[in-house]
Amino acid sequence: MQPMRKTWSTTISLSTKITQDDQVETFDFEETGKLTLTTNALYLRYTEHQQGVATPVTFKIAHSDDILLHRHNDFTDVQLHFIPGQEFQSNYVTSQGNIPIAVRTDQLSNEITSDHPYGELVVAYTLLNNHAVIGQYQLTLNIQS
């Protein structure tokens, strides 16, 4: 029996708010992406374009409260794992070396599931390095039908 796999195009909008040392930055993107539905998860893949750099991005939505975000380009590579109330260790890989980080999910609201692959995902999270706060982030992802 062949595993279930369905892929289709979509338009996404992503807003990211970053707070570091009382400084706030906001980034907004609208990109065309691909949704892939498998038996185990829903994948969203798109390329973010910012300041002349193209960054491939993948969201893996395994459950409504278990999200992986992978971003990589020629300069950086990072994978963030979001589960409410949990902290995950990761590495922020840069051309200058690896920076160990921890990802703490402070809040997660997700309408996007394999049964409903459109809607909004909101994640508030904190990045830490050696227990010190690097920054607080809020991402809002909208997948349009």
* Domains identified in the chain, total number: 1
- The mean pLDDT value for 52-60 works out to 93
Domain range spanning residue 66?
5-144
* Contact between residue 67 and residue 57 where contact means Cβ atoms under 8 Å apart: no
Q: Give per-residue pLDDT as tens, 27-43.
A: 999 999 999 999 889 99
| Domain harbouring 68, CATH code | 2.40.128.20
pTM of the model: 0.91
Q: Which residue has the higher pLDDT, 68 or 50?
A: 68
